[in-house]
Amino acid sequence: MKTHLEDSTRDRVARTILETGPSTTALLAEHLSLTPAAVRRHLDALLAEGLIEEREPRVTATRGRGRPARLFAMTAVGRDTFDQAYDDLAASALRFVEEQGGRPAVAAFGRQRVAELEARYRPMVAQAPAGHRAEALADALSADGYAASTQPAATGHGEQLCQHHCPVAHVAEQFPELCEAETEVFARLLGTHVQRLATIAHGDGVCTTYVPRSTDLPSPTTRRTAQ
């Protein structure tokens, strides 16, 4: 039985949107070394299948004449096509945890879940120069399938850690404690307070975390992991 994404080129287009976030036809064509016409053909097919959706581009004061290029973003259905097979089981397990111990038990489970990630990521982040720790964390997250990247914050102060994919997004929609535990880990690893601005679980296209920029943040190895 064929899946939605068996076509290799169409799969590349969809995966690029998943990993890089909302994209225009021109950016996709450049990234994939395809013609805009070829990309549009695959975008139309993905739109028809409900795997992607059109989004209004942000209006900026510096935008030139003409209509801004359309943006294409992954839908929840599109994300499901990749690797959301165990959501029902995970959600059922957490509902059982909640029934047995309430929401505090769910929060404890969330902290335990990310403890392993924290232990594995800590050496990579600690070895990075102070100004590149968020980038090192993004690389570690990407290796685990989160398709993460960093970019300067819109304010010009600090940067944004962006996760374009979340394997537990549907579960986190019901149990935000998972996102909260992850944010706490980011703060400990980066040695500074961070702020979660958006999450895929709440319907945003990308999980976005604000990280203040500083050249003198303490090394994560000097901070004790919260118990």
1-28 pLDDT, tens digit per residue, is 344 444 688 888 988 888 778 889 999 9
Determine the Cα–Cα distance for residues 110 and 201; give it in Å rounded to an integer. Answer: 15
Which residue would you say has higher pLDDT here, 80 or 106?
106
**Residue 93 region by backbone torsions, left for phi larger than 0, else alpha for psi between -120 and 50, else beta:** alpha
Q: What is the pTM of this model?
A: 0.62
Determine the Cα–Cα distance for residues 109 and 105; give it in Å rounded to an integer. Answer: 6
Q: What are the backbone dihedrals phi and psi of residue 15, each rounded to the nearest 5 degrees, phi first?
A: -65, -35
- For the chain, first and last CA: distance in Å? 48
Give pLDDT, residue 149: 92
CA 74 to centroid of chain Cα atoms: 12
Give pLDDT, residue 48: 92
Name the nearest CA neighbour of 126 among 105, 116, 140, 112: 140
Residue 40 tokens, joined: 């549009």
54-105 pLDDT, tens digit per residue, is 987 765 444 455 566 789 988 878 877 765 545 666 788 888 989 999 999 9
Strand 159-163 with 52-55, pairing: unpaired
Tokens 């039985």 sit on residue = 1
226 pLDDT more than 50: no
| Residues in Cβ contact with 132 at an 8 Å cutoff, skipping those fewer than 6 apart | none
Q: Which residues pair with 74 in a beta bridge?
A: 52
CA 82 to centroid of chain Cα atoms: 14
Give pLDDT, residue 210: 96
Give pLDDT, residue 84: 55
Domains and CATH numbers, the chain: 8-82 (1.10.10.10), 87-222 (3.30.1380)
Cβ–Cβ < 8 Å for 150, 132: no
Give pLDDT, residue 167: 78
Cβ–Cβ < 8 Å for 171, 24: no
Interval 38-59 mean pLDDT: 87
Cα radius of gyration rounded to whole Å, the chain: 19
Residue type, position 54, single letter: E
Interval 97-124 mean pLDDT: 91
